[in-house]
Amino acid sequence: MFSKSKINEPGPKPSDADKPSTSSATASSPSSSGSDYKPSAPKPKPPASVLSSDLHVTGNMKTTGDIQVEGTVEGDIRAHLLTIGETATIKGEVIADDIVVNGRVVGRVRGLKVRLTSTARVEGDIIHKTIAIESGAHFEGSVQRQDDPLNPGAKTAPVAKPNPAS
């Protein structure tokens, strides 16, 4: 009998000689034709890059992965998931699919999902698709909803003008 925990267990796999031979496993799987096909598990997502509280970065950062900032950044940050820790200060624009602000941001925030927790301090405009602001969060600036907030040139959906057929 097979179990998921054995399939997904990391480490070396036991050889075929160590496994008991069962003919029912082969007969019940019509797609296996005696080949050595082994379905691969999806690759695990790498952990977020963490910028520790004693780190001070000057310059822009860009990644397709996740970033957790606990220190100070003077520059723009672009990421997939950006978590700004309680001890963090960011002076610049932050752009990400998902942004969680626990610390301080001085600059524009652009994200599909933006969440300001009760310890957040934001001084700047927020451009979002969805937003959540917890009680106790400090925010000075404007809030604007856009369907595509990650595109800096995007405005709200323009009205189509009729095309004269002359």
Which is more confident, 31 or 35?
35
Give the count of beta carbons closer than 10 Å to the beta carbon of residue 4. 7
Which is more confident, 19 or 139?
139
pLDDT of residue 42: 73
Query: Cα(first)–Cα(last) distance of the chain, in Å?
Result: 74
Which is more confident, 21 or 125?
125
pLDDT of residue 157: 45
Q: Which two tokens stand for residue 7?
A: 């399939």
pLDDT in tens, 111-124: 999 999 999 999 99
Mean pLDDT, range 65-70, rounded to an integer:
94
SS (H, E, C) the chain: CCCHHHHCCCCCCCCCCCCCCCHHHHHCCCCCCCCCCCCCCCCCCCCCEEECCCCEEECCEECCCEEEECCEEECCEEEEEEEECCCCEEECCEEEEEEEECCEEECCEEEEEEEECCCCEEECCEEEEEEEECCCCEEECCEEECCCCCCCCCCCCCCCCCCCCC
Q: Is the pLDDT of residue 83 over 60?
A: yes
Cα dihedral 57, 60, 64, 67 sign: positive
The answer to whether the pTM exceeds 0.75 is no
Cβ atoms of 80 and 95 closer than 8 Å:
no
Residue 4 pLDDT class (50, 70, 90 cuts): low
Residue 151 pLDDT class (50, 70, 90 cuts): confident
Q: Is the pLDDT of residue 15 over 70?
A: no
